[in-house]
Amino acid sequence: MPETVSSARSAEWRRMIYSGTVINMYGALEQFVDDIVKKYASFTNILFTEYEKVPEALRKAHDEQARRLLNRDSGGRLSRDDTDHMVRCLASCLDGGTEFKISGTALSYHDNNLKIGILSEIFGRVNVSLDAITKALDLDAFENGILNGIYADLDSLLLDLVNRRNEISHGDYPDLLEPDVLSGVANVLKWLVAALFDELRKSTFNSISSLDVGYVTKYYEQPKAHLIELSSVELSVGEVLFGFERSTQRLRAAKITSLQDDSVSTDSVLRESMRDKEGVVGLTVDPPVKFGGKISTIPLEVAEILYDDDFRALQ
């Protein structure tokens, strides 16, 4: 008899851990999506100095979402303050100019669970495509790990997570995932939110006004130095550069720590008076990012939004 009681308690304990894990994983994903879209909306008038410079996809999504929500019953999910703020944001966008505001509530609002189609729609509103993310994730997580044979892709994982969350809410969940599978799902969601954040930074960088510094023509592993065909009029030690890392294609930020003009060290270079007649400058950066392609500088208030974690750690 004691073994039966012990077994029942063990099964109930496992059900409690399972249900808590599933609910928390889905809840964390939903909270992340809501928070990042709302935060991005609050930054738009810093990232884009005029309403007409906001990407068309974002402008269209905001206008359509705000109008749709203002003309329907939200079922109590929107407060009076939410509605009033949305009206003010919509009016400011109709006026155009520099004083516009984007409603995070309008951009992040969704009626359905976060399956891949809904996730794609929400991030599409802020000009982010999930195509590259899902392709990379499908190859990495579903062909070579613990989830191989359980989920075919991100779409099937999110669908299963939603279904399990719904089953738990109705008190019916006989099919419990093993701990190692739950851990695998958690790792996929962790990778997903990091990838979504990176894609939003990249998309934003590609949309904002920036000043081209130049183009990377060569990289030396030792001493971790770039050769840059200079486009800008002037460049100085201490400036922060933005560009895409060669190996990962992530948007990275790095500070210039040294400059050389025709093998002569200098604190700054002027394009019109360089020793190197082809306008090629050597530089090192910290953190030691290996940039590829175009590198740029952006206004400080925008840069502070787009800095990556490695760069922030140096400040």
Domain coordinates in residue numbering, the chain: 2-206, 210-312
Sign of CA dihedral 156, 160, 166, 169: negative
The amino acid that residue 38 corresponds to is: K
Tell me: the pLDDT tens digits for 211-241?
Answer: 899 999 999 998 889 999 999 889 999 999 9
Query: Percentage of the chain with pLDDT > 90?
Result: 63
* pLDDT, mean of residues 4-24: 78
Tally Cβ neighbours within 10 Å of residue 15. 14
The CATH number assigned to the domain with range 210-312 reads 2.40.30.10
Nearest to 251 by CA among 215, 212, 216, 200: 200
**Which range among 7-11, 14-18, 134-138, 139-143 has the greatest average pLDDT?**
14-18
pLDDT band at 145 (very low <50, low <70, confident <90, very high): confident
* Number of Cβ atoms within 10 Å of the Cβ of 121: 13
Torsion sign across C-alpha atoms 124, 128, 134, 135: positive
| pLDDT band per the 50, 70, 90 thresholds, residue 46 | very high
| pLDDT of 275 | 86
Indicate the pTM of the whole model.
0.86
CB–CB of 280/227 below 8 Å?
yes
